């Protein structure tokens, strides 16, 4: 069924607490934890607890939860005090964009000059 946990999915295992992570925020629908290979002083991943392969698929199926992920990304930025200096929210989508974990996730990056991308 759509959204059900996938046995071979690393982030479903983190949601189930079968794989450890440094969790910084948790809500009924989302989890936020530090990226294991940080690319900036703050690098937190915000994921929905339900399994969808990317952010767009999540938004199409469960728009309210996609909104929760985005709101939590903003809360992480406030907690980490990068909301005023600026931060970037990234949804890598597909292998050509560097996506390696096919469970929807938002990267929240900040704490250094991120430079203009687009």
Residue placing its CB nearer to ligand AMP in the complex, 29 or 92:
92
Instruction: Name the residue nearer to ligand AMP (CB basis): 45 or 82.
Output: 45
Query: Active-site residue 105, yes or no?
Result: yes
* Least distance (Å) between residue 86 CB and ligand AMP: 20
Pick one of ligand AMP, Zn ion, none as the site partner of residue 9 (Cβ within 5 to 8 A by kind): Zn ion
Tell which residue, 114, 109, 68, 110, has the closest CA to residue 91: 109
What DSSP character marks residue 96? G
CB 106 within 8 A of CB 70: yes
User: 41 Cβ partners below 8 Å, 6+ apart?
Assistant: 110, 111, 112
Coil vs helix vs strand at 66: helix
Kindly write out the interface string for residues 91-110 of this chain, putting x where it contacts ligand AMP by CB under 6 A and - elsewhere: -x-----xxxx---------
Positions in the binding site for ligand AMP (CB under 6 A): 10, 19, 21, 33, 35-37, 45, 92, 98-101
């Amino acid at each position: 069924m759509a959204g059900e946990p996938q046995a071979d999915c690393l982030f479903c295992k983190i949601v189930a607490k079968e794989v450890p992570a440094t969790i910084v925020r948790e809500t009924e629908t989302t989890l936020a934890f530090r990226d294991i290979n940080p690319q900036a002083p703050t690098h937190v991943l915000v994921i929905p607890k339900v399994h969808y392969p990317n952010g767009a698929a999540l938004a199409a199926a469960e728009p309210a939860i996609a909104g929760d992920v985005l709101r939590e990304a903003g809360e992480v930025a406030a907690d980490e005090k990068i909301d005023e200096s600026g931060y970037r929210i990234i949804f890598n989508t597909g292998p050509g964009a560097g996506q390696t974990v096919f469970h929807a996730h938002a990267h929240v990056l900040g704490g250094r000059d991120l430079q203009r991308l687009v």
